Amino acid sequence: MEFISPTRGRMSFDEMFADIIAFIDQVPDAKYRLIIGSDSQLGDETCFVTAVIVYRVGKGARYYYHRERESFTRNLRQRIYYETSRSLAVASRLAEKLAENGHADLDIEIHLDIGEAGDTRDLIREVVGMVVGSGFDARIKPDSYGASKVADKYTK
């Protein structure tokens, strides 16, 4: 799985992970949030983007994204579940690497492209339950900027 950093270019998962750790090690006493969010855009093919953001609270952030185009003709519910499963897969892999490298205390948030307004409101309980049941914090709109802003930017 390849990620793109706007500042560092194309990176493997392991290179992205090393860059995240280097960012944290620059200011080890700061508070950090690791955020993962996915979004999709329908077209001839559906474009899925998963973003990984390491946020140094109050002092900036770095982000990376993975983009894939697929034939995907499923309904909105299936697309939201698929976006969530993509975020969970990356979050699980990151959590495993963090534990192996002495950073297990870093909380991971999954930002979901759902909210109280719009067609996705009926999915909130199910999708948030899926994330929380997997051991991660879940955020929905308007607090889910990892999905609704960062990932969304690269689906176009």
Which sequence spans correspond to the domains of the chain? 2-153
Residue-level pLDDT at 43: 85
C-alpha 17/C-alpha 39 separation (Å) is 21
Q: Is 32 exposed, middle or buried (0-12, 13-18, 19+ CB in 10 A)?
A: buried
C-alpha 94/C-alpha 8 separation (Å) is 19
Model confidence, pTM:
0.95
Kindly tell me if the per-residue pLDDT of 72 is higher than 80. no
The pLDDT of 54-61, averaged and rounded, is 96
